[in-house]
């Protein structure tokens, strides 16, 4: 990788700014002052120091993002703001959201450049659990809940896999506009909304709370993000890379 590109990816400055730093002799490579922005380096081996600070390059990055309503789960869009627009200061051109949340849906979204991890999270055979908080337009009966939990027809080739329903609070049992927690192991288009619609209800608010072992950090406000902790990443990878039999119940 070129030295100037490396410094730019680490948010040391814009391409022109880092070139200026290099030409001023403020960057060393393996203890030697380097004044050529075009210098090729091995970012995983070479020791790069800029203005007295030893730099460390991350090949793979993992962010927990609290997606707000109103933005789209894409890397670029001509009409709408994207989730990647919120991470512009990271100056990474290779990151992308893992899966999609509807434009009006809030909650947990993982943003990374690790294609293998993303594939495993989204793979149907992994049955990764995803928990959503859904506010409903009106009351829901126990029979309707049972249909949702057993799996139902939402217009796909196959019925949905068994799901897990829970009230958000005890007060929701008698509320005219209750909130429920629904855990699913699939990711069909508009799946949660379509499942409730299939039993005659409508979702008026939707928020993803968790994905696999990863739970949305309550301290993150909509539009905010942070890197995954080592423990979060280790636990998530342990879950995804462990062998699991297909057909396991939820």
The residues annotated with a catalytic role in the active site are 102
Cα atoms found within 13 Å of the Cα of residue 132, Cβ hemisphere only: 24
Rounded to 5 degrees, what angle do the CA atoms 74, 207, 217 make?
90
CA-CA-CA-CA dihedral for 166, 171, 172, 173, to nearest 10: 80
Residue 213, judged by CB atoms within 10 A of its CB (0-12, 13-18, 19+), counts as: middle
- Beta strand 62-67 with 106-112 is antiparallel
Note whether 212 and 236 are within 8 A (CB): yes
Rounded CA gap, 241 and 236, in Å? 9
Rounded CA gap, 221 and 107, in Å? 10
Note whether 102 and 223 are within 8 A (CB): no
Residue whose C-alpha is closest to residue 94's, from 70, 56, 63: 63
Note whether 207 and 107 are within 8 A (CB): yes
């Amino acid at each position: 990788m070129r030295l100037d590109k490396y410094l730019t990816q680490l948010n040391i400055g814009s391409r022109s700014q880092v070139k200026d730093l290099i030409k001023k002799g403020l960057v060393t490579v393996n203890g030697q002052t380097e004044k050529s922005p075009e210098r090729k380096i091995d970012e995983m081996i070479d020791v790069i120091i800029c203005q007295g600070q030893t730099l460390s390059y991350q090949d793979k990055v993992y962010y927990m993002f609290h997606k707000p309503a109103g933005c789209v789960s894409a890397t670029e869009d001509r009409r709408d703001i994207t989730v990647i627009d919120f991470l512009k200061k990271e100056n990474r051109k290779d990151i992308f959201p893992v899966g999609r949340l509807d434009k009006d849906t809030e909650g947990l979204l993982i943003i990374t450049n690790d294609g293998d991890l993303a594939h495993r999270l989204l793979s149907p055979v992994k049955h990764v659990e995803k928990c959503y908080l859904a506010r409903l337009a009106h009351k829901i009966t126990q029979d309707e809940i049972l249909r949702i939990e057993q799996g139902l027809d939402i217009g796909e080739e196959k019925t949905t896999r068994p799901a897990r329903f829970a009230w958000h609070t005890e007060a929701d049992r008698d509320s005219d506009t209750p909130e429920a927690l629904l855990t699913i192991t699939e990711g069909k288009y508009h799946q949660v909304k379509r499942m409730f619609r299939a039993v005659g209800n409508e979702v008026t608010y939707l928020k993803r709370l968790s994905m696999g072992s990863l739970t949305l950090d309550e301290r993150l406000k909509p539009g905010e993000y942070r890197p995954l902790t080592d423990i979060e990443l280790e636990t998530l990878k342990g879950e995804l890379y462990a062998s699991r039999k297909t057909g396991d119940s939820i």
